[in-house]
Structure 1
Amino acid sequence: MDFLRVFVIASLLVLGGASNATPDSGATSPGDMAPVGSDLIVGTWAWTRQSNRCTEVYRYYGDGTMAVISGKEVTLGEYEIASQPNDAGRYKLIDTILVDHGGMDCGNSNVDNTGESATTYILFHESGNAHWSMYEPTGDIGFGPLFRISK
Structure 2
Amino acid sequence: MHKLSTRAALLACTAALAFPAAAAPPVRGDHPILGIWKFELPDGSCEETYRIRADGTTLITSAQEVAESHFTIDDQPDEEGFYKSQDKIVKDNGKLDCSGNVTEVGRSVTSYLLFHGSGNMFLMCQQRDTRACIGPFIRVRGTATI
Calculate the TM-score normalised by the size of structure 2.
0.73
Distance in 2 between residues matched to 1:142 and 1:107, nearest whole Å: 17
Instruction: Give the AA of the match of 2:122.
Output: H
- 85, 91, 97: which is aligned to 1:93? 85
Helix, strand or coil at the partner of 2:67: strand
Q: 1:80 and 1:123, CA in 2 relative to 1: closer, same or farther beyond 3 A?
A: same
CA offsets 1:28-55 (integer angstroms, 9 cap, x no match): x37xxxxxxx801000000110146210
Unaligned runs of 5+ in 1: 1-28, 31-37
Instruction: Give the AA of the match of 1:59.
Output: R
Greater helix content: 1
**Identity level (%):** 33
Asked if 1:123 corresponds to 2:114, the answer is: yes
Q: Is the 8 A contact 1:86 1:137 kept in 2?
A: no
Provide the aligned length of Structure 1 versus Structure 2.
115
Unaligned runs of 5+ in 2: 3-29
State the 1:86 CA deviation.
Answer: 2.2
Aligned 1:1-151 pairs, distance under 5 A: 29=1, 39-51=31-43, 53-110=45-102, 112-150=103-141
Calculate the TM-score normalised by the size of structure 1.
0.71
The list of structure 1 runs, each at least 4 consecutive aligned residues, that deviate by more than 2 angstroms after superposition, is none
